[in-house]
Amino acid sequence: MKRTLALALLLAAFAPAAAGLAEEPFYKDKLALDLSAPLPGPDGSAPSPAKALSLSDTEIGTLKSGGHKAALLWHGGGDWVNAVTAGAKARFAELGIEVVATSDAQYDPAKQANDIETAMALKPDVILTLILDPVQGAAALKPAVAKGVTTVLLSNPVQGFAAGRDYVGIVTDDIAGMGVAAAALMNDALGGKGAVGFIYHDAKYFITNGRDNGFRATLEQKYPGLVMVDAKGFTAEPQTFDLASAMIQQHPEIKGIYVAWDVAAEGVVEALRAAGRTDVKVVTYDLGATNALDMAKGGSMYGTVADQPYDIGTAMATLAGYGLLKKPAPAFNTVGLVPVTKANLAQGWEGSLKRPLPDSVAGALK
């Protein structure tokens, strides 16, 4: 019951009130989210650690003899997605599964539907994907599922799909944990006191809704010195420059801005730089070279909560093996997280993305 209530609250739509004064909460009602309860999967399944997934030597041998093909059909691009792809490809190589297609939907559900249709012409046995729109994505994936294609989902559910029937399982972050960690970073950045702006993902999207609400609830419940004075939603990454520009103009008292993910935060950092607001600190999720460079230089990007995208890719490929073998699999699988600031940027980058820090960022750290 507790988990069901937590999930319902976590997925509730944002309904911000009119902007208030800096000393008053932006929201009239606090988010009654139980931060101690693990976030279940979209079907209510308890989270299972992705590192627990395994295949025996005999099972791997069976997969290697199968001549299977896989398509990696992603929602977007960037360093994070590249790391997921690298992890999946490395694991598929171990399993003897050939990757025949990769795609970037550029956060466009219509393009994603076309990507799926195009990939099906290559007759893949496996699809790994993050579905952008749960309804449109369901329509696009149904023909593949009907043909018996083994499907593994990244983060987001698909409307009407059931684990073990239409897809093998979901792999994602410790969603609530990332929100809690991001709030702790903001508290550190502002020294426990100050006005905060909240730039959230204004769409029905399991992972971002969960992280956004986890951050908000943690601020409200654990850090009373941090007051959310403005909230603005976006649906496309390029919107965040204008949103941040308007936010700091309307609320010059803001000292920290939360953004739903790394690439979207690039526009916020750019807006702060253009306005000369070097005093405002930004907190987000995931790692990317642009914001990492700003962090290394001591700019507006104070910190990010990084998950383990390489491990996500590895786990997704392993789950695909479960599906091909008809082996029962956990429905909801999560990876770990690490808060990253300038102090541990190199270690956090390498641990999360499984590759060295870019030379430009490493040089800036020196």
List pLDDT tens digits, range 86-106.
999 999 999 999 999 999 999
Q: Give the 3-state secondary structure of residue 145.
A: helix
pLDDT in tens, 182-219: 999 999 999 999 999 999 999 888 889 999 999 999 99
pTM, two decimal places: 0.82
What the block records as the tokens of 270 is 């750019």
pLDDT in tens, 136-178: 999 999 999 999 999 999 988 999 999 999 999 999 989 889 9
| Residues contacting residue 150 through CB under 8 Å, at least 6 positions apart | 125, 126, 127, 168, 320, 323, 324
* pLDDT greater than 90 at residue 44: no
Q: Hey, what domains does the chain have and what are their CATH numbers? A: 21-40+175-306+339-365 (3.40.50.2300), 53-173+309-335 (3.40.50.2300)
pLDDT reported for residue 32: 67
* pLDDT greater than 70 at residue 17: no
| Angle of CA points 243, 158, 96, to nearest 5° | 110
pLDDT in tens, 226-236: 999 999 999 98
pLDDT reported for residue 35: 73
In whole angstroms, how far apart are CA 40 and each of 7, 170, 272, 333? 7, 11, 36, 10
Strand (E) or helix (H) holding 152: strand 150-154
Q: In the chain, which residue ranges form alpha helices assigned H by DSSP?
A: 2-10, 57-64, 79-95, 109-120, 134-146, 175-189, 206-222, 240-250, 262-275, 289-296, 309-325, 345-353, 359-365
Query: What percent of the chain has a predicted confidence (pLDDT) above 70?
Result: 90
Q: What would the DSSP string read from start to end of 16-79?
A: --S---TTS-SSSS-----TTSPPPPTTSPPPEEGGG----HHHHHHHHTTT-EEEEEES--SH
pLDDT reported for residue 8: 37
Question: Helices 289-296 and 262-275 sit at what angle, rounded to 10 degrees?
Answer: 50
What the block records as the tokens of 88 is 């999946």
